[in-house]
Chains A and B, each alone.
Chain A
Amino acid sequence: MTQEFIDKVSSYLSQDIDITPISQGAEAIVFSTSTHPYLPKTRESHQKFIIKYRPPKRYRHPQIDQTLTKHRTLNESRLLAKLYLIPGLYVPQLLACDPYNGFIWLEFLGEDLPGGYGFSNLKNFLWMHDKDPYNDLVAATLHKVGIQIGLLHWNDYCHGDLTSSNIVLVKYGAEWVPHLIDFGLGSVSNLVEDKGVDLYVLERAILSTHSKHAEKYNDWIMEGFEAAYHEKGAKGIKKFKEVTKRFQEVRLRGRKRSMLG
């Protein structure tokens, strides 16, 4: 059970490091801590950091488990380090990583939404606005989400697991700035196929999680996605057409697939 993992993490990190479990995702358990992995502790500091831990999955063969944990932890760290340097693209800053044990230390992002809607990821944000889904704030935020994905693809990176839970909103004044997280399945790729599948995965995730307003949501995201490419001039417009064309093909493949018995 979860407590078992908390104890394990605690003993691995040593008792001096305070940890508070925040969430258990499918792949990782996320903790917050006030301890920086290597900078000295200052008494006034109220800074928080994230420790992301990929526990061993006992259901799968140890050989598969070790390979995946190491690969994904390392992969995520490498991608985050590179993506953090791209102007205009927002991802959490990588602080430290231990791929063999499945640990990553990150900058803390996001906050709790008002009214008990939980942590400020896109999913909870959209659920919070479920009663008034088509307001300007939602439209603007989703547009910015699209820009982030557009920038990611323009720079030849794919996320691999785009869902509304994997986009964290950070509040700056009155506006929400989307940050992409969870790059465990990410990749460096210039293939339109990978980008098409990325968009298809997101579209389906929105459709299944936010069914009622999915069409409009997806439209806004794609508008932002287009804007990011158009920003790059003629070459961007050309690439945008290639990606969206393939996206439509992937989508068609999905619908056409026969579903026998």
Chain B
Amino acid sequence: MTLPVALYSAPDGVEKNFIPTPDDPRYLTTEGRTTGPSDHVLNAGQIDRDKPSDPKYTADGSQLTYLSQLRTQLTGLQDDINEFLTRRMELAKNKKKAGAEEKRIQEEINQLLDGGDGEEDAD
């Protein structure tokens, strides 16, 4: 069968292709690593009755049915995308933080220099 694919592109030029690897176990389950219940509700004592159904096998049990293949591959693909996006968000956050730190240092330097100038001018 043809594999499902996803293409990501962002205004900053970043592009990424997502393609499942059919034999990798992460593309053979319907239980994704990023699509479970949130920790908050689990900690509050939630019993998860909203799991996705297990994938189905063909009558002879040799392989997954067409739709189940699609479902398991999409589950893995969704995980890939979620993890990628989480990394992107963290990167952006760190950049912002780093930018703020750089700006702070630059401002401090400027202030010192300005301050020095100011005192000289005042004299």
Asked whether any CB of A lies within 8 Å of a CB of B in the complex, the reply is no
A residues bordering B, Cβ < 8 Å?
none
